[in-house]
Amino acid sequence: MGIDTTLKSLNRKMKEGSTRKYKIFLYVMFAFLVFFGTSKLWLPSDVKIMNTSAGTEINTSANTSLKLRSWEYSKATHYMEIVFDVTNRDDDQELKFTPAAHTNTDKRRALNISTALQQDGTLILQIKDVPEKWEVISLWVQDNQNITGDASDSLKGANFFCDIRKVRINNSLAPKSGLNYRIQSVNNEIADVNAQIKQLSAEIENENAEIGQLNFDINALKMNQKYQTKEEIADSNSTISNKQSQIQDHKNTIASYQQQVSDCKVKLQKLNQKLKDTVSGKLPEQNAAPASSGPSNSKNEDDSNEAETKKSSVPVTVD
C-alpha cells in the first residue's frame, strides 16, 4: 500500500507540473502575440519619411522659385497653412501660382486648397477640411511663367511633401483676415532683414578675430628677429608682409559687411513704415482675388473675418 500511494502521489505531481508548464507556455505565447500585434501602435514607423524641410527652395520655372518657410497643422480644426518665400527673376509678367494637393492614401481626391496671400515675395496657402487620417500630403505648385511658351515647359512646377510625423502641430492655427496676412508678410520681411544683420555682425566679429590673431603673429615674428640671422630676418619680413596683406583683406571685408549692415538698417526703417501703413490701411491690398483648387464651401475669407481684431506688434529693429 505504501508503494502504491507513493506512485499515485508522484503521478499526480507530474500531471500538475505539466499543467503548470503548459499554462506558463500559453501565457508567454499570448504575451508575444500582444507585443507583435500592437507594435505598430507604439513602435516608431519604419516607413520612409516623405517630408520637405523648412528652408528648402525649389524652382517652379526657369525664373521663379519657392522656399518653404513653414508648414503648420491644426489637428483640432483639420486646417493647414503653408508659407513660402517667392523669388521671381522676371518682372515682365505678373506672377500667379496654382496649387493642388492630395494625400497619399487617396490620390484621386483633391484637397480643399486655396491661396490666402500672394504679394511682396510671400505666398500663403490654406488647406481646409484635412482628412482625420493621413500620412503624407503632396503639394504641387505651378506658376504661369511658361504657360505661353513651350508646351513641355508649361508642366513644370514644384512638389512639396508634408509627413504627419514631421509636421508642426499648432492647434491655435486658424484662417486670418486679408489684412492680418499682409501684416504677417511684412513681419516676415522684417524678420529676414534682422536675421541678415545678425549674420553679418557675426561675420564681422570673426573677421576681427582673424585680424587679432594675425597681429599677434606679427608681433611674435618681430620679437624673434633679434635672435635671427640676416637671411632668417629676410624670410621673417616676407612672412610679416604677407600677414599684413591678409589684415588689409580682412579690413576690406569688414568694410563691405558694415555697408551691408547699414543698407539693412535703412531697409528696416522702410519696412517698419510699410508695416505702419499696412496696419492703418494706407497700403492697398494686392492680388485681391486669390486662386484656389479643390472643393470649397466657405464664404470669402475677408468677409468671414471682418470682425477679427486687427492686432500686430511692430518688431524691434536693430540699432
- Is 18 within a domain? no
- 163 and 103 belong to one structural domain: yes
Looking at the fold, whether 281 and 185 belong to one and the same domain comes out as yes
Q: Does 221 reside within a domain?
A: yes
Residue 106 amino acid letter: D
Instruction: Report CA-CA distances (Å) from 248 to 28, 206, 234, 243, 254.
Output: 76, 15, 21, 9, 10
Same domain, 166 and 132: yes
Q: Which of 122, 146, 174 is the last residue of a domain?
A: 174
Same domain, 156 and 191: no
Assess whether 64 and 128 both reside in one domain.
Answer: yes
Where b means 16+ CB within 10 Å and e means fewer, 286-316 reads: ebeebebbbeeeeeebeeebeebeeebeebe
Q: Are residue 145 and residue 208 in the same domain, yes or no?
A: no
Mark which of 174, 200, 222 sits at the end of a domain. 174
Amino acid sitting at position 34: V
Q: How far apart are alpha carbons 120 and 182 in whole angstroms? A: 9
Does 275 map to a domain?
A: yes
Q: Is residue 189 part of a domain?
A: yes
**What pLDDT, in 10s, does the model give residues 62-117?**
889 999 999 999 999 999 999 999 998 777 667 889 999 999 989 999 999 999 99
Contact assessment for residue 309 and residue 179, using Cβ atoms and an 8 Å cutoff: no
Q: For residues 150 and 228, state if they share a domain.
A: no
Residue 191 resides in a domain: yes
Overall number of domains in the chain: 2
- The secondary structure of residue 77, as a DSSP letter, is T
* 163, 205: one domain: no
How far is it, in rounded angstroms, from Cα 23 to Cα 166? 44
Establish if 38 belongs to a structural domain: no
**Dihedral sign for Cα atoms in the order 3, 5, 6, 8:** positive
Range of the domain at 226: 179-285+300-304
pLDDT at 30: 58
Q: In whole angstroms, how far apart are CA 234 and each of 215, 221, 228, 237, 239? A: 19, 11, 9, 5, 9
User: Which of the listed residues 174, 207, 242 is the one where a domain comes to its end?
Assistant: 174
Mapped onto helix, strand or coil, the DSSP state of residue 81 is: strand
Q: Give the position of cell 624670410.
A: 235
Q: Are residues 96 and 130 in the same domain?
A: yes
Same-domain check for residues 101 and 169: yes
| Rounded distance between C-alpha atoms, residue 135 and residue 113, angstroms | 17
pTM: 0.71
Angle at 51 between CA 48 and CA 54, to 5 degrees: 150
Residue 89 lies in a domain: yes
Q: In angstroms, rounded to a whole number, what is the distance separating the alpha carbons of residues 212 and 262?
A: 24
Give domain status of residue 45, yes or no: no
Q: Residue 139 sits in a domain of what CATH number?
A: 2.60.40.10
The H or E element containing residue 22 is: helix 2-37
Task: Name the helix (H) or strand (E) containing 138.
Answer: strand 136-143
Which residues of the chain fall below pLDDT 50?
39-43, 149, 151-152, 288-292, 296-319
Pair 87, 169 in one domain: yes
